[in-house]
């Protein structure tokens, strides 16, 4: 089974949390940044690389709070499931230029509104688990 890594980019303002989504390359749907690890790359290194390539962001990976979910993907017209381990990432820098800026858009949404941004049930599950860990994430981000 295929396994990918990804980030749940977030920012905090007071007690409010916002999550950043990016569009998928093929269908333009709102998703979370993810990708494959490169040879000899740690989860943390891969997450930072994918976050910058896909969303033009850098930040602190909360490596002690991984969330692994099955995410549906399509290849050559066939849909299959892939395990993705997402790490919350407190965004500290958002760049105006980034490697995939011509292929993707990005969008910030308040956590309370995040389920309305994506229509994918598999991402709803990721967001619900992130929300359930909200108190721990806020503490770890300090």
Window from 20-29, 51-60, 91-100 with minimum mean pLDDT? 20-29
Q: How far apart are CA 7 and CA 51, in angstroms?
A: 7
Query: Per-residue pLDDT averaged across 53-82, rounded?
Result: 91
Q: What is the CATH number assigned to the segment(s) 3-141?
A: 3.90.79.10
Query: Per-residue pLDDT averaged across 122-132, rounded?
Result: 94
* The pair of three-digit structure tokens given for residue 104, joined into one six-digit string: 């993707």
pLDDT bucket at 1, cuts 50 / 70 / 90: low
Q: How far apart are CA 91 and CA 99, in angstroms?
A: 17
pLDDT tens, residue by residue, 82-122 = 999 999 999 999 999 999 999 999 999 999 999 999 888 88
pLDDT of residue 78: 84
pLDDT of residue 119: 83
Query: Per-residue pLDDT averaged across 132-141, rounded?
Result: 92
Q: Using a pLDDT cut of 90, give the percent of the chain over it.
A: 79
pLDDT bucket at 72, cuts 50 / 70 / 90: confident
Report which of residues 15 and 94 the model is more confident about. Answer: 94
C-alpha to C-alpha distances, 12 to 25, 53, 67, 119, nearest whole angstrom: 27, 22, 19, 24
Q: Is 93 left (phi over 0), alpha (psi -120 to 50) or beta?
A: beta
């Amino acid at each position: 089974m295929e396994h990918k890594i990804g980030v749940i980019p977030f920012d905090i303002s007071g007690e409010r949390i916002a999550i950043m989504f990016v569009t998928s390359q093929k269908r333009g749907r709102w998703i979370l940044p993810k990708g494959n690890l490169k040879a000899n790359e740690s989860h943390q290194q891969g997450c930072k690389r994918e976050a910058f390539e896909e969303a033009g962001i850098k930040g602190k990976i909360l490596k002690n709070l991984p969330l692994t979910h099955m995410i549906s993907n399509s290849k050559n017209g066939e849909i299959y499931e892939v395990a993705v381990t997402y790490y919350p990432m407190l965004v500290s820098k958002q760049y105006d230029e980034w490697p995939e800026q011509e292929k993707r858009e990005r969008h910030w949404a308040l956590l309370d509104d995040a389920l309305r941004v994506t229509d994918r049930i598999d991402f709803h599950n990721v967001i619900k688990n992130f929300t359930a860990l909200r108190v721990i994430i806020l503490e770890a981000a300090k």
